[in-house]
Structure 1
Amino acid sequence: MAGLEEIVDNEDFYSLLNVPRDVSKEDLRLSYRRLCMQYHPDKHADGDRREAADVFNKVQYAYDVLSDPNKRHIYDAYGKKGLEGDWQLVERKRTPQELQEEYERIQRRRQLQRLNEATNPTGNFTMTVDATSIFDSPGSYDDDDEYYDSISIPEISKVSISQSVEAPLTASDTATISGQMSSSNGKGRGELSVALKRMISPLMWGELSCGVSDRKFMSFGLRGYRTLPHGLFAIVHVPVTVLVQDNFLVVSMPEYSTVLGCNLRPNLVGTLEYTTGQADRLCTQLIYDMKPMRIIGKLQVGDPSSFAQIKLCHRFLSDKAEAKAGLKISPAGFFVEYGAEHQISEFSRIGATVAIGVPIGVVLKLRMSRASQSYYMPVLLSDDVNFVAAFYATAVPVVFYFALQKLVVQPYLRKKKIEEEESEESNRSQETAQRKEEAERQVRLMAESVERKILSETSKHGLVITEAWYGKLMLNADEHASSPRVIDVKIPLQNLVEKSSIQLPHDISKSGLPGFYDPCPGCDKSLKISYKFRNRRHHVIVEDKEKLRVPLKSHLIDGAA
């Protein structure tokens, strides 16, 4: 639960009214009435009425919030931002916990609405590189010319690009337009598809898709999802292909698939998938996700694609990095796979995986993602199980990663951090200047009232503030007046004197008191006070959120008169 210290706006209603967080209704009303009497516009000259009205309105708003149990609970939990929510629960019988749940629900709904109002573009770029000529032996040649002519460099064997854009049509309908182009060994193809998805209910959705290809065929598809009782869910996919062949339309259903899933345990999900059509197969999968470990087991039976597979993933550094390993066994052979991914910036991740086995040989898979765009490059290093190729496939990405971190990522992050700090410092300076102007206006408003209080307290040998400083106090007291991190709060503090005493609650920043402001945001602050009581000098220093009670005998300066 976010606290007030996490809210950007540092205006504190408790500090403004000078009351503790557990203040009673009666004490809250007394403090409110006292401030209203002091800052009511009718009690000030024409030139000061506007400034007095600003303070008066702030006091009224703060009291309105803290005197309402519902608003007060939301303010305590989320600050002023929480009060700006689009509240739909207005029943007074709602408990604070119910109000908090309602606020969180509204925030989630707003976030989802903002997400749905914008399109969601995603893209993938894949480039397959054949580099087997580097590690596989070209054989022996009698003719030197023929040998040198046979030397080749890595070549690009396949390139594909896909892009999709989601566009919400209504609250329950979403359209997705996607396209793909690919080229393999000099032959290219392209596809374009449109999908319409409807949320039929919170437990069910359906999707209808239509696609065209440059190979003179159209494809249609129907997908559906349904949540079932007892933690079950089902997904059905029915594709239909329409092909123009010899001036005839040929309609076929390539593959029909049904998936039945179940949440077996809080961290364990199992699925069973049956696919029929050109090749029948049955596949079952278990996913165990218990941070930081994730285990996936998969078993498929079918002709000719039977296999057993297991994958392990371990997350590090708060999910910013993860190590992967896997094993796949099939009648055609086997392969082992290992690799890692790392989040190098807020929106960017890079990863590398090495697969070694039969009949794939040695393959290095490089991946980078930036926001919703992904770039994938599988590099075929050898057709056989070549341990030299496997060594370089492991070592080169590691060296490249550390070089990238040292030469590019870390300098970029340092530069970005410096820019953000400069921007924050600029914004903080502007806010501090604004708060300073407001505090100075408040001090001018209370000047006459403070003079009367000083005369009254002096006549009865009461409490008179002789010196008061607030902020990052200096070791040398003579430097307070010239330090931008310390402000003179003699007048605002004298203004708080009631019946020859001052009481400031604990756990409340004093920067929100009338006439105060924060001269050094982010720094530890203190309040230093020198005062006279019964014609004897006193002195005290308290921390920013420390409780203060004046006068006390412990503040008396020995031998002072």
Structure 2
Amino acid sequence: MPDFAGDDDISAGYTQVMRYSDEADYYALLGVSKEAKDSEIRSAYRTLTLSFHPDKQPAHMREAGEHHFEKITDAYNTLIDPKKRVVYDLLGAEGVQQEWSHGGSMENQKVGVKAMSPSEFRRWFLETMKSRERKAVNSMVRSKGFITLGIDASSMISVDEEEGDVYVNVPTVKPSRYAVGYNFRTPLPLLEYLIGEARKDEEDAQAEDIEGDNQPSETSGIEMVISTRVAGKLQKLQQKVIDPSSQTEYLVDLPRILAANDVSIGAAVSHVFGDAAGAKGIFKRRPFSILNDSAVTANVLLLPEPQLETSIGKSIQLVPGTRPFNVNLTTTFSQSLFEILPVVGLQITKNVSNTKLALCSWSSGTLEWPLVIQRLVEPFFGLGLEEGAALPVQLSSLQFAFFSFPKQQKVVGDGEGEEEGDDEVDDEVKESTQRARQQMKTEADKAVSWNVQMQATPENGALAFTYGRNIFSGKAADAVVRSEWSSEGYYPMVESESRSLRLEVQTTVGLDFSLSWHLRGTRQVGEFTRMGLGVGIQSQGLVMTVYWSRLGQRLQLPVSVCSLEVVSAEAAAFVVAVPWLAYCALEFGIIRPRQRKERRKLMIRRHKQLKKQIPMKKAESLQAVELMTNQVRLRQAREDERGGLVITKAEYGYIPSDKKKKNNVAEPSVIDVTIPVAALFKIIGFYDPAPLLPKTLKIWYRYQGRDHFLQAGDNEGIKCPMREHYSFTSYSA
């Protein structure tokens, strides 16, 4: 068995193993391109029928003919059906079988679906699969919650004030504070009914034209989000006890109690209006027509004080053809209008580019009625100046921010962007294109992001800067659960060989030049689970925080290492360096070596499985070659008579490099594929003689009485006859 690769090549080999499939390519099976028309598919099927139809075979080859003809028929029936062909291009043969089986999306086709064109069906199928996936994901995250448990370990680090030495002690650990929050979604049928009645006439009119063919598979009803939060301190009380015999007083510790100073219960309802201006009824008239293409949210807070917050968001395009402004207007009612004016907020965002976002927000704060109006309404509503002065005050604020998000790597399918004649493009252009793609991939893997925020209030102000990027190689830790379905197509997840570390640094500078910072590292440890460790200076002092999250559930454990009075540069460096060195030792000393070992085992196991299949694949290929030989020889004879293209020899297999030949790393493994290549490059008759190794196809052919030669790798296209192939006159490799 050949040696696959060293540690540097494990990643590429592992990816090849994960993508290696035993499923035959239907296009290659028929010998047509992915852009082939129905007439080309029928012609290819008829040509293969001449060689493989069971009725045309002798008795001893009938069973072999049935075996190969069944595969050809499956490929033809799939590609000639426009709907099955769409699904096959997205999901392969297994996907076609699944979607047309019991429980699949095509089990009970509606009349509208049957009458769709291929492009319409593709859009409908993508939306159906995306809705199905979204429904499955939403079922896992219908509720979200978080738990924060603060731990006081401030005795861990002490600093000698005179000499400045830092000492690490065994801390006395005790819980100090807590925060618990939970929210869940629940349907709100009443509001859905009211809004649905307002649009009933429009929906009825559209139903006559749609007839079920463009309707989404999942009806998204209006939902209400109920959220709760409790936060406070963990206090330890003591009780005084008197001994009756000695009359001595003792202090007895009582169990810790939860003292809550932050309790909130509220509910939020949001709805996105479509073309409300085109609807009949009240939404067609002003001022309700402003709801056209807008999102409306109502948030009611019951505790600690009743509060109502309403907001409306809308995109406004000032100049046609430019990026729109997203405007969000918020109004918060915390008191009666006769007591105090509502707090008004305005937020404007604009996408400067695909990865840049500018933001400006303003809040009016608490605004009282003018003194003249207060004196006028005082006799009627009984609001005195003393009462007005006791109302809660919220300061006005102004914020500017600029965000730079990570560059997203565009997912492209195999062969995308390749056109007929690409093999004639200049090699320098190809190399520059490959370098550009590699650079884009590298930038996407780093996922560099940063933002600058400036906030000012009448009493204070601050400037904050945040920078984040992925370090080490592998799957990003902060990557959200990406949908495999989009309006463009289906892009399945590719298992990564390792996982990267997401590093984020945040620094805040106040008006008094006070500096605070926070350093956080996050790593994905499971399909939906992430863990992280953060270090920063907060109001509690130097705090180390452990993070854990899975789907919508979060757990935080902030540990106070030392108070602000004893924070020093040495203490901060110690707290940052020790966890960092410990993580690097764990990552590169245990985790990644173990992953490489597991991947190597997987490659060896897969290679053994594929090698066991070689005799069976070889027997099938020899049967196919025997079935094709007569037709191929007749066709080659006709081509030779008129000076056409005649395949004289073809070889396919693994040919090791000169370096590997000297080291005896792997032996060459080559098979004769002259007949399959002469049959217009049909994949029938080929088999893999060297699984998981790079293979080469060599072809010797004669055209117009001249000998030609070409050589191509597994992923290279072949086009002949070509003038540059006329440079070989013998059969020596």
TM-score normalised to structure 2 length: 0.53
For CA contacts below 8 A with separation 6 or more, give which structure has more relative contact order: 2
Matched, 1:526 2:707: no
Q: Specify which of 205, 219, 223 is matched with residue 297 of structure 2.
A: 205
Distance in 1 separating the partners of 2:156 and 2:63: 87
Matched, 1:352 2:547: no
- AA aligned to 2:620 is R
Distance in 2 separating the partners of 1:308 and 1:365: 26
| Residue in 2 that maps onto 1:188 | 258
| Residue in 1 that maps onto 2:457 | 300
Deviation string 1:275-311 (CA, Å, 9 cap, x unpaired) is 555233222222210243301111223xxxx321111
User: Is the Cα contact below 8 Å between 1:264 and 1:270 reproduced in 2?
Assistant: no
- AA aligned to 1:547 is I
| Residue in 2 that maps onto 1:18 | 31
Secondary structure at the counterpart of residue 19 of structure 1: coil
Distance in 1 separating the partners of 2:20 and 2:263: 47
Which segments of 5 or more consecutive residues in structure 1 lack a partner in the other structure?
140-150, 212-217, 241-252, 505-511
Matched, 1:125 2:145: no
User: 5 Å matches for 1:18-167?
Assistant: 18-20=31-33, 27-43=40-56, 47-48=63-64, 50-61=66-77, 63-64=79-80, 108-119=130-141, 120-129=143-152, 131=154, 134-135=157-158, 154-156=172-174, 158-162=176-180, 164=182, 166-167=184-185
- AA aligned to 1:557 is S
State percent identity of aligned pairs.
14
Q: Specify which of 581, 588, 601 is matched with residue 402 of structure 1.
A: 581
Q: Specify which of 272, 287, 294 is matched with residue 362 of structure 2.
A: 272
| Residue in 2 that maps onto 1:248 | none
Distance in 2 separating the partners of 1:107 and 1:293: 34
Distance 1:50 1:72, change over 3 A: closer
Which segments of 5 or more consecutive residues in structure 2 lack a partner in the other structure?
1-15, 107-111, 163-168, 188-219, 237-256, 274-294, 317-325, 367-390, 406-448, 472-477, 479-501
Secondary structure at the counterpart of residue 37 of structure 1: helix
Distance 1:288 1:80, change over 3 A: farther
Secondary structure at the counterpart of residue 397 of structure 1: helix
Deviation at 1:172, TM superposition (A): 2.9
Distance in 1 separating the partners of 2:125 and 2:470: 31
> CA RMSD of the aligned region, Å?
5.2
Q: Specify which of 349, 364, 384 is matched with residue 543 of structure 2.
A: 364
Distance in 2 separating the partners of 1:378 and 1:56: 66
Matched, 1:284 2:398: yes
Distance 1:421 1:295, change over 3 A: farther
Distance in 1 separating the partners of 2:264 and 2:690: 58
Distance 1:400 1:475, change over 3 A: closer
| Residue in 2 that maps onto 1:447 | 626
Distance 1:396 1:133, change over 3 A: closer
- Going by fraction, where is strand more abundant, 1 or 2? 1
Secondary structure at the counterpart of residue 162 of structure 1: strand
| Residue in 2 that maps onto 1:411 | 590
Distance in 2 separating the partners of 1:166 and 1:421: 44
Q: Comparing 173-182 with 337-346, which one deviates more in the overlay?
A: 173-182
Secondary structure at the counterpart of residue 693 of structure 2: coil
Distance 1:348 1:228, change over 3 A: same
Distance 1:299 1:75, change over 3 A: farther
Deviation string 1:60-96 (CA, Å, 9 cap, x unpaired) is 046426xx5x98788778877997796998887787x
Matched, 1:260 2:346: yes
Distance in 1 separating the partners of 2:602 and 2:331: 52
| Residue in 1 that maps onto 2:516 | 337
How many residues in Structure 1 have an aligned counterpart in Structure 2? Answer: 490
Deviation string 1:432-486 (CA, Å, 9 cap, x unpaired) is 867975674354255244267559979999999897542312579x9xxxx8984
Distance in 2 separating the partners of 1:295 and 1:174: 33
